[in-house]
Structure formats: structure tokens, C-alpha cells
A and B are shown apart, each in its own frame.
Chain A
Amino acid sequence: MKETPLSNCERDFLLKAIQEKKRLDGRQTYDYRKLKIMFGTDFGCCFVELGKTRVMAQVSCELVAPKENRPNEGIMFFNIELSPMASPAFEQGRQSELSVKLNRQLERCLRNSKCIDLESLCVVSGEKVWQIRVDVHMLNHDGNLMDAASITAIASLCHFRRPDVGIQGDEVTVYSPDERDPIPLSIYHMPISVSFAFFQQGTYLLVDPCEREERVMDGLLMIAMNKHREICSIQSSGGIMLLKEQVMRCSKIASVKVSEITKLIMKALENDKTARKAGGKCGFAESMPQERITALKKDETAVEMTDVTERANDIVLNAEVPPQTSQSLLVPLPGMGQVGKDLQNSWGIEEYYQDEEEAFNSDEDKQTMMEVGEKQKVHEDVVEISDSEEDEVVILQPEATDRAHKKTSSSSHLKEPAKSKKRHRK
């Protein structure tokens, strides 16, 4: 499936907005979107939300023979899966350019920076080592996949516990979690990637581009760093011309962002640990009631609502979009339709749902039905007018076909073009 093309209008607007230091979602130039880190029931399962971008990672391990040239080192394997689920632009099965780029970048970010002690993964030198496999799945694509993927991957690695092994002579026994506590990986440092989008030949720079910004940008610079301000990898992509000063500036911004994100990951890990100790429920199934995996749930978005000239009003206007003082209890989960007894619907409809039909007069109803049936018999020929591919319009009782035609066309929410193209100016 093809993705929707980007119109010139969107492109021009985005560029203009960027020039005025405005962004689509009301962020500042160097702001990240809201980052959420969650862990699953299993060790090494992590979900990350970066705005609307959603990524999931699962770490797994198995005992394999080591590589010949590195007999006493474990093996790390990274795989980013761009499933068509995330975006219509992603194709099933094929290794696209984007997928190669992301995979290699993740490898460079996590493997080449030697953030994990591979030698501790050796069980029997030259014979058996642990292979740690990180599968990163993109669930929803709204830009900046790389940062989300790197955060997810490192968080899930930190969360992961491998089973303990014992060696008696030649025999290697793998203990189940009940017998011996699983062991965490030894992680030296946490490299986190930060992406910078460049616009108009590098004149403008944005952190954490969203999908539409990514489609307009000239190029991208990804800097992976850890909180000790060590750069683990740099990669520029897209045909841009960078200047040295820009790279230096980006690296400075990256160091700030990385320390923030690292703190967030540590906090999430800490929370998960305490939750687990307390025996609280955690995991994927638990994420349903907490609205973790519904796309229709709504986060509060802060919108800057003033013109630059109206600075004074800024504070008032940085209002959160869904007001928290909601009086209506109609929307238990905004945007989620609920069907069933005693539940309300919340499809964002103006009229309120009234539960009255239980008490309708069945006799009367029958009568009307019979009437209709009767008339059906009289006029056997039923006209169906189908304008649309799917939405069929059926007319029961076609007395005046042409009149009916007129009616349907006016009924099915069609209007004169001038009407529906609503323009009003003040």
C-alpha cells in the first residue's frame, strides 16, 4: 500500500512554521515528545511511546557455539522489524533501505560501543556462549524511529534477566527461574540515540522530528551518547551539508537530552522493580485497562496558543487541550466505543445515549411492521440506488422513483459544493 503523498501545502506550511520556530504539536525546537517507558510481564520486554511512535522490544537468549575468532565472548544480535502494521509505507518481508539503516545504526549504537560485557556471557570457552537477541518491533510510526528503537532496546536489555547456569565437568545445566534467580546482564553504559532533523540546507534544526517533519526535512543527524558524555556513534543521513559547528552544537544538545532520557529509563526500571517486589500486576495483559495499548486514548497535549506578539497571554493559553475539570462523565475512555449493558458510548457524539428502547410498545411496533410488510407486497419492485461502492441506499416502497432519487442524494449527506466548502472570514 502506498502512503498518502505529502502535498505542497503541507510542505510549505511546515517549513514556514519551522522558520517561525513553531512545531505542529506545539513543542519547542529542542523538545522531545512525551516519552513513556513500560515493561511487560516477562523480563526483557519493553514498550516505548514517543509521542505517537510506539516501539516494542523483547530480549531473548539461547546457548550457542561462539564465533571462531571470539571464542570467549557472547553474541549480541539486533533486529529491527518494520512491520506493515506501523505504517502503510513499510512492506512485508523486504529489507528496505530504512530497515537496513536502522538496523545498522542500532548495531553500531549498542554493539560497537561495547555497552554490554560480552565476556560475562561465556559459559564454556569455545563451546557454549549466550546469544542475546534483541527484537525490536515498530508498532506505530510517527517519526524518529531510531531514538525510540535505541531507548527501547537499551531499556529492555537493562530489564532482561538470563537464566543461571551451572557447570559440572562437561555438563552444563540451565536452571529455571524457580531454582535459581535469573541474572541481569552486566551493562557498562547506556548509549541513547538522539536525532536531529535539518531543514533548508541546515539552516534550521529540530530535535525529535515527527513523521511529517521527517518527510519535509533535508537530512538527519543521529548522535548516540551515554550519560558520561561519551559519543558512541554518529551518523548523518540524507543529502545534507553539515558544518562542523552544527555538529558540535548537536553533540552538546545530545548530551543534555541523553542525561534526561537516561534518568527516565532508570526511573522506569526502578518503578518496575518495586512493582515486582510488591507483587503487583505487571505486563502486557495489564496494560489494557491502563490504556497502554489503545490508539484512541488521548494524552493531554499542551498547545501554545498565542501569536508571538501576544506573549503576555502565554501562560493563560498554554492550556491543556482536554480540560481536566470535565463535568461530563460520559467519556470513560475517550474515543473508545463501549457496547454492552449499562455502558455508555463515547464516540464523541453530541446527542446523549438514552436507554429507552427496552420499554417500547411491542404491539404497536408489530402493527407498523405489518403495515410495511403489506405495502411491500403491493409494490414488488424495489429500486436500489447505489451511488457509492459500499454504501447502498435502499428504498422500500418506491412510488416515485425519481423523487426518491432526489431525496437520497440529498439525504446522504451530500451538499452543493459551495455549501460544503465552508469559508468564513471575519
Chain B
Amino acid sequence: MLSRLKAKVGSVLLPGDEFCLDTTGADTISLAGPSKANKVVCGPGLRRSGDRLLVYKSGLLRHKEPNMFWMDAQHKRYVPAKGETVIGIVTSKSGDVFKVDIGGSEQASLSYLAFEGATKRNRPNVQVGDLLFAQLIVANKDMEAELVCVDSAGRANGMGVFGAGGLLFRVSLGLARRLLAPQSDLRAELEQLFPCEMVVGMNGRLWVKSTGVQRTLVLANLLESCENLTPVQRRQLFGKLAQGAL
């Protein structure tokens, strides 16, 4: 099964495609491999059902060593997942919690104590309409999602209210993930273009700021157009821009 999975890496799969784990003839060739080696981890878009491995999202099959597989798709809808960092918009303050729109099916809640240095006395200064960079700590099917703006050590670690002077816009979740990837070509190319600040939420929200309104707008338009550009096209575009800007 592994090799078949691996062979499919990078190709488009549709919901309903399946890989058979094939338990029937198992005892014939069995003891060959070391038992540890072939552990398969299936991420988003793949599900195990009995002896089959089902695809339930359309997209590309991705693989990461040693044996991790997941489906990568250009979705627009965000489904909150625990641990992800997102950009939220504060929609209301009610009692001890802020309600935050994170683009999911319902609003997430954020306790006013979940900020660095916040105490009962010392409330954070958060206004309705502010942008927050926060991490999801509860994201279950049947429960309201919960956010925090501190890490486990109680420090802000880059989270909290931000956003003065920049522009927020939406991109597909795929593009957001591409920007966040540890070795992102796109990001590297952007870095060379001109100085900018960027905050990427896993929920497909993107905040950019550069020196001056015009540059910020250019940056936003660039990123939006990157959605459907091949690397070659993109490099051309960036090249053109770099020539002009220098």
C-alpha cells in the first residue's frame, strides 16, 4: 500500500478514491519488514475505514518523510483545528470573553485573561473591530472554538492585537499554507522585493504592511494574484516589479 500511496503523491485524488490495506492475504508475506518502519500517518483528507484508506477531500496527495500523507486542496472555507494560529476580528465584548470572528462556521471565544500579563484588574485594551493574532486551543466538532493569545509559558510570543496601518484581505487556505511553509519560495521571493510586514493566519486571512499605502496595495494585489500563478509566471511578475522598483 505504501508504494501505491507514494506513487500517487502529487496527483489529484477525489473523494471516494481508496487504497486497500488488504488484510486477507496478510499471512503469506508478513514478517519481512521491521515492524517500526512502516507506520503510516494520515493527515487531513484521508480517513481509515476498516481495512481501507479513504480519500474524503479532493486535491493533491502530499507526502512527508517518513510516512506522512495528507490531501492538499485550495479550499476557501476554514475549519478550525486545534493548535492553528489564526487572524480574528473582535466582534463583541461580552462579560469575560471576546467574541472573535475567525472565518469558521461560528465565532470563537477568547477570554480576556488569555493575554500576556492580563489579570482580573489589568484588562487588555481590545476594541470591537480590532484584529487579533491568536491560537486555537479548543476546536471540536460540537463545541465553540476557543482562542488564546499566550503560549504555554504565558508569553505573548507574537500574538495579540495588531494591525495598525496595514491591510487585511482573504486568500485561499492553500495559499496561506504555502506562505507558512518552512521553505516557501513565494515568501523568499517576496522578501527580496521590498521590506514588508506580513501576518498569515491559517484561516486564509492575510495582513500586510509596507512603507506607504501604495506599496501595501501593491503587495496585497501581488499576493492575491499569486493564487493562480505558476512559479514561472510568478517569477516573471516579480522580476518585472523588481526592475521597476529599483
User: CB atoms of A and B under 8 A apart anywhere in the complex?
Assistant: yes
A residues within 8 Å of B by Cβ? 4-13, 16-17, 20, 22, 24-26, 296, 298, 301, 303-308, 310, 313, 316-317, 319, 321-323, 325-328, 330-331, 334-335, 337, 339, 345-351, 353-357, 360-361, 364-378, 382, 384, 387-397, 399, 404, 407-409, 411-418, 420-426
B8 touches A357 (CB 8 A): yes
Q: 9 new A-B pairs (CB below 8 Å) besides A9-B164, A303-B222, A376-B23?
A: A9-B167, A10-B167, A321-B237, A337-B74, A354-B10, A360-B7, A366-B22, A378-B35, A397-B39
Contact A373/B89 with A307-B215, A408-B41 known, Cβ cut-off 8 Å: no
Give chain B residues whose Cβ lies under 8 Å from the Cβ of A399.
35-36, 39
Residues B30 and A424 in contact, CB atoms below 8 Å apart: no
Knowing A348-B175, A348-B227, A353-B10, the reply to whether A13 touches B216 (Cβ < 8 A) is yes
Q: Does B25 lie at the interface of the complex (its beta carbon under 8 Å from any beta carbon of A)?
A: yes
| Contact, CB under 8 Å: A420 / B43 | no
User: Do A375 and B199 touch (CB < 8 A)?
Assistant: no
Contact B43 A391 (CB under 8 A): yes
B interface residues (Cβ-Cβ under 8 A, vs A): 1-4, 7-8, 10-12, 14, 20-33, 35-36, 38-48, 51, 58-60, 64, 68, 70, 72-74, 79-85, 89, 91, 101, 103, 127, 129-131, 133, 135, 139-141, 151, 157-159, 163-168, 174-175, 177-180, 182, 185, 187, 191, 194-200, 202, 207, 212-218, 220-222, 225-233, 236-237, 240-241, 243-245
User: Could you tell me if B180 and A420 are in contact, using CB atoms closer than 8 angstroms?
Assistant: yes
Residues from chain A with Cβ under 8 Å of B73 in the complex: 347
A-B contact pairs, 14 of them (CB 8 A): A10-B168, A13-B168, A22-B214, A313-B245, A326-B230, A360-B7, A365-B1, A366-B25, A368-B1, A390-B44, A393-B43, A397-B38, A412-B81, A421-B199
Known: A422-B198, A423-B198. A306 touches B159 (CB 8 A): no
A340 to chain B, nearest CB (A): 9
Known: A387-B83, A412-B43, A417-B151. A22 touches B213 (CB 8 A): yes
> Once the chains bind, are B38 and A404 in contact (CB under 8 Å)?
no
The answer to whether B167 and A421 have CB atoms under 8 Å apart is: no
Question: What separation, in Å, do the CA atoms of A316 and B244 have in the docked complex?
Answer: 6
> Which A residues lie within 8 Å of B11 (CB)?
353-355, 357
**What residues on A are CB-neighbors of B79 within 8 Å?**
388-391
The smallest beta-carbon distance between A89 and chain B, in angstroms, is: 14
In contact, A391 and B44 (Cβ under 8 angstroms): yes
Asked if A348 contacts B230 (CB within 8 A), the reply is yes
**Contact A407 to B59, CB < 8 A, known contacts A387-B81, A387-B82:** no
Chain A residues near B140: list those with CB within 8 A. 389
Cβ of A388: which chain B residues have Cβ within 8 Å of it? Answer: 44, 79-82, 139
**Alpha-carbon separation in the docked complex, A409 to B232 (Å):** 33
Q: Which residue of A lies closest to B64 (CB)?
A: A411
Closest to A327 in B: B232
Query: A408 touching B43 by the CB < 8 A rule?
Result: yes
Q: How far is the CA of A310 from the CA of B159 in the complex (A)?
A: 35
The docked-state distance in angstroms from the alpha carbon of A353 to that of B12 is 8
B185 / chain A contacts, CB cutoff of 8 Å: 350
Q: Contact partner of B85 among A7, A373, A420, CB < 8 A?
A: A420
Q: Is the CB of B80 within 8 A of A389?
A: yes
Kindly list chain B residues whose C-beta atoms are within 8 Å of the C-beta of A22.
213-214, 217
* A8-B127 contact given A301-B221, A357-B7, CB 8 Å threshold: yes
How far apart sit A128 and B92, CA to CA, in the bound complex (Å)? 58
CA distance A306 to B68 in the complex (A): 44
- Is there an interface contact between A396 and B180, defined as CB atoms closer than 8 Å? no
| A331 x B158 contact (CB < 8 A) | no
Centre residue among A350, A377, A391 by max chain B CB count within 10 A? A391
